[in-house]
Structures are given as C-alpha cells and as structure tokens.
C-alpha cells in the first residue's frame, strides 16, 4: 500500500476524538453510537466517476451502488439499516433526469432493504458525478461486530465467491445483510466486507486484531467472472503467485466483491455451518494464528502479500 494513504488512515484513527456515547469511531466499517434501546451504526462512502464507475454508466446503477456499498458496511458490523442520506455532486449543466435516475436507483434498493432516503444535499462542479451516501443503522447494545476481535485459532470464513467483479457485479451486487444477521447470531469475533481485495482486507483485519493468519489458497472460492479479470502476476515473486491460475489470483486481489470476511471460534463455526440455510455459499478458507501472515498452496507455505486495490 502506498505510504500516503496508509499513513493518513493511521493518523486519522489515532487522532480521532473519543467521547462518551461513541462506542466505536474511526477504524472499522462504521461508527457505533449510543442511541437508546439500540446503538446507532453510521457509515458513509463516496463514489466518483472514473474511479468507482465508468463515464456514461446508467444513473440507476450508480445510485444503487452508492447505497449498496454502505449497506455492505452495515452488514459487516452486524447492523440493520434504518435510513440513508445522499450528497450528490453533479457536472455543470446536468440534465434534470440525471439526479432523478440516480435517486431512483437508491430508492429501489432502499425499498428492498427497508432503508428509505430521508435527506441530503446537491451541488455542481466542473468534474464528473460524485455520490456520497450516509446510512444509519441499528444494532443491539454491545452486539456490533468489529474488526479487532479475531483470536489465534479462530476460523476464517468468506461468503459468496470472489474475483472479476468489474465485469459488472461491482454495480449490481446484493449487500449481505441477511447473511450477516445469521452470522451475527453465532457470535463472530471479527468481521468486515471485502471491498479492496481478499488478501489486503484480511491483512487489515488481522492487524486490527493483533494476530496473523494462514490462508489456504486452494479453498478460496473463485467467481466465474474471475476468468475475465485483467489481473496478472507481473511484478510478483515467482512463488507461489506465478503458479496460481489467474482466476484464483484475481479472487485474491481484485476487490469490489463486497462479500463478508469474518472470524469465528471453531465451536460456533460448527454450529453456523450446520444451520446455514441461505443460498449464498459460506466457505472456510483458513485460520488465524498468533503472528505472521502466510498463504498455503499445494502443501507449501509462503509469506502472504497484502495484494489489493488502494487509492493513489
């Protein structure tokens, strides 16, 4: 990861103001605030034209994704959505149909997950479309799932399949709220969504928890879209990265999958697998260990690399 973004994020977390009523601030997928019978969970994400979607993309899909990435953050915290706000920056001279269609995309997904659009702001500038959505959710007090709870010996799980999301899935994915609710009922020790690539996000979760991991590359679920990914092994050490089929490498580093990555002790994991009734696959892909990040491929272990997408 380039030092600029990494250092900024570390500074931001270390300098965050801690006050009563804030159970969790910067450093997880969302903040957790005290709010009565339940805790409030607040998340925000920005989508920028040319970075998160292509110029000329259908406005409804832009709006849908703007809400979906935030609902994915709520899922990662084990929270249920309540409402959303939209801050929309539009190019000068925009057609009135443009923001209407973006909002229609937000409202359609919001209706599916009981998350109405309740406010926001609009402005214009000389650039492309920028959509920032903030979501409000709720979780029972003390039940919010953080990134920092994984322990050595915990199993590593991921929902769904990974890789090749830029074939279109990154715009149309379904936030894993139902899956998160079932996972949360079995007491995960840590959880986040996979937005920047499995290896990078797993390294972040392990660092937040103060542990290491061993990832079994043969067990990582590969999405059929990964066969069309542009990922290559160029610039990576020969082993094991050049030995991997490129779709499997794509599953490790492409990002924008928005699947759930979580830790759970073995006893709870056995119960969760026995009671898993959802159509989304659930796969154990490794285990956390006291220290050191390694990958396992065909019986051989290698140092893990934090491969994934970062903003430069």
Does residue 258 belong to any structural domain of this protein?
Answer: yes
**Within 13 Å of residue 80, how many CA atoms lie on the same side as its CB?**
11
Q: Are residues 127 and 190 in the same domain?
A: no
Q: Do residues 171 and 276 share a domain?
A: yes
Query: Is residue 49 domain-shared with residue 113, that is, in the same domain?
Result: yes
The count of structural domains within the chain is 2
Are residue 296 and residue 164 in the same domain, yes or no? Answer: yes
Q: Are residues 29 and 83 in the same domain?
A: yes
Please check whether residue 308 lies inside any domain of the structure.
no
Q: Are residues 118 and 15 located together in one domain of the fold? A: yes
Asked if 54 and 194 sit in the same domain, the reply is: no
Yes or no: say if 74 and 39 are a contact pair by the CB < 8 Å rule. Answer: no
Task: Please tell me the distance from the alpha carbon of residue 55 to that of residue 48, in angstroms, as a whole number.
Answer: 10
Q: Which helix H or strand E contains 208, and what residues bound it? A: helix 198-209
In a domain, 238, yes or no: yes
Rg of the chain taking only CA atoms, in angstroms: 19
pLDDT at residue 12 in the model? 76
DSSP designation for 147? S
Q: Is 224 helix (H, G, I), strand (E, B) or coil?
A: helix
**What CATH number is given to the structural domain containing 173?**
3.90.650.10
| 277 inside domain | yes
Residues 186 and 265 grouped into a single domain: yes
At 1, is the secondary structure helix, strand, or coil? coil
Which CATH number does the domain housing residue 107 bear? 3.30.1330.10
Summarize pLDDT for 249-290 with one digit per residue, the tens. Answer: 999 999 999 999 999 999 999 999 999 999 999 999 999 999
pLDDT above 90: residue 45? yes
- 11 φ/ψ angles, rounded to the nearest 5 degrees: -65, -40
Q: 104, 139, 174: which is the final residue of a domain?
A: 139
The three-state secondary structure class of 94 is coil
Helix H or strand E segment including 288: strand 282-289
Please say whether the beta carbons of 59 and 94 come within 8 A: no
Range of lowest pLDDT (45-59, 177-191, 220-234)? 45-59
Using the 3D structure, point to which of 108, 139, 170 is the last residue of a domain.
139
Per residue in 56-101, pLDDT (tens digit) is 899 999 999 999 999 999 999 999 999 999 999 999 998 889 999 9
The domain boundary residue, chosen from 139, 172, 198 = 139
pLDDT value at position 220?
98
Q: Clarify whether residues 121 and 14 are in a common domain.
A: yes
Same domain, 130 and 166: no
Tokens representing residue 40 in the block = 């409030």
Q: Is residue 243 part of a domain?
A: yes
The percent of residues above 70 in pLDDT, for the chain, comes to 94
Domain that holds residue 277: 155-303
106 and 180: one domain?
no
Please report whether residue 1 resides in a domain: no
SS3 labels along 52-76: CECCCCCHHHHHHHHHHHHHHHHHH
Q: Are residues 33 and 165 in the same domain?
A: no
């Amino acid at each position: 990861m380039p030092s600029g973004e990494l250092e900024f994020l570390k500074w931001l977390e270390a300098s965050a103001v801690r006050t009563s009523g804030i159970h969790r601030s910067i450093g997880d997928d969302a903040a957790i605030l005290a709010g009565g019978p339940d805790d409030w969970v607040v998340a925000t994400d920005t989508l920028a034209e040319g970075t998160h979607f292509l110029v000329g993309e259908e406005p409804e899909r832009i709006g849908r994704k703007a809400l979906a990435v935030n609902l994915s953050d709520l899922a990662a915290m084990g929270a249920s959505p309540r409402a959303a706000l939209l801050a929309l920056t539009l190019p000068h001279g925009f057609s009135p149909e443009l923001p209407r269609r973006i909002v229609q995309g937000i409202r359609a997904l919001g209706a599916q997950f009981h998350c109405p659009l309740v406010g926001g702001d609009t402005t214009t500038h000389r650039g492309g479309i920028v959509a920032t959505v903030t979501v409000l959710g709720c979780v029972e007090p003390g039940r919010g799932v953080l990134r920092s709870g994984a322990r050595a010996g915990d199993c590593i799980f991921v929902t769904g399949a990974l890789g090749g999301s830029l074939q279109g899935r990154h715009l149309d994915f379904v936030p894993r709220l139902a899956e998160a609710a079932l996972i949360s009922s079995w007491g995960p020790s840590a959880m986040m969504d996979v937005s920047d690539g499995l290896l990078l996000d797993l390294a972040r979760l392990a660092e937040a928890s103060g542990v290491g991991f061993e990832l079994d590359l043969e067990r990582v679920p590969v999405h059929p879209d990964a066969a069309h990914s542009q990922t290559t092994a160029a610039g990576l050490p020969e082993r094991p990265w050049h030995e991997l089929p490129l779709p499997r490498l794509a599953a490790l580093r492409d990002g924008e999958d928005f699947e759930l990555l979580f830790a759970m002790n073995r006893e709870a994991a056995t119960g969760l697998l026995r009671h898993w009734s959802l159509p989304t696959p659930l796969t154990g892909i490794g285990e956390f260990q006291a220290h050191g990040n390694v990958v396992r491929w065909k019986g051989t272990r290698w140092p893990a690399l934090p491969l994934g997408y970062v903003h430069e």
